[in-house]
Amino acid sequence: MNKVDQTLARRGLLLVLTAPSGCGKSTITRAIMKDDPDIVVSISATTRDPRPGEKDGEDYLFMSTGDFRSKVGTGDFLEWAEVFGRFYGTPKAPVEEAIKSGKDVFFDIDWQGARQLRQNAPDDLVWICILPPNKQSLEDRLRARGQDSEDVISRRMLEAESEASHWRDADYVVINDDLDKAISQVRSILQAARLKRVRRVGLEEFVAQM
């Protein structure tokens, strides 16, 4: 980063990668976040009990169902959902604080959560959909992991079709037919989004000094 970039204030963004299971989203995410101090991970709130080793405020923000419902009512979540009787959501205040300070916030959510972010923070969202090159490639990847039974693989393939069907909602679509290329493309999207005029809130002062 050069001296000019260091002096220009920037509003962070909300980064979402959605993908069918087996498309390499986790690998791409780790590569993008590695050694990038400008990306922080959103910490979700949940009403489920902590699992062994989980810490409040680090892994999740644990709260009662009553508190969660109250915060939903006052609009304190950017997105939320009920999953098997437990609630999960993204508190608005810490995210807003992060992007005001110039940090990008990564969300590990599905297309439904991303759609809520689009409704509640449309100017800050960068949504990238990761897709496999073809259906057979995705099935081969799931089998290569050696973790799932045939029934589980069949269910994941059906879930993948459902997830992939929402590609039109995303801002960008990356086809992961080559992992290094996909990582490079996601990095390019992120860099371009960071350089958008509306994100660089320090430009007015910078231009005034020219």
Tokens matching residue 134: 């073809």
The domains of the chain are located at 3-42+102-208
Share of the chain above pLDDT 70, in %: 97
- Report strand pairing: 172-175 vs 77-83: unpaired
* H or E stretch at 2: none
- Give residue-wise pLDDT tens across range 39-95: 999 999 999 999 999 999 999 999 999 999 999 999 999 999 998 899 999 999 999
Mean pLDDT, residues 189-197 taken together: 96
Let me know: does 111 contact 125? Beta carbons within 8 Å: no
- What is residue 3's predicted lDDT score, i.e. its pLDDT? 53
Would the pLDDT of 30 be above 80?
A: yes
CATH of region 3-42+102-208, choose from 3.40.50.1820, 3.40.50.300, 3.40.1190.20, 3.90.1480.20:
3.40.50.300
pLDDT at 15 over 70: yes
From start to end of the chain, where are the E strands? 14-18, 39-41, 45-46, 61-62, 77-83, 86-91, 104-107, 125-131, 172-175
**Residue 122 pLDDT > 80:** yes
- What is the structure's pLDDT at 210? 81
Interstrand relation of 14-18 and 125-131 (parallel, antiparallel or unpaired): parallel
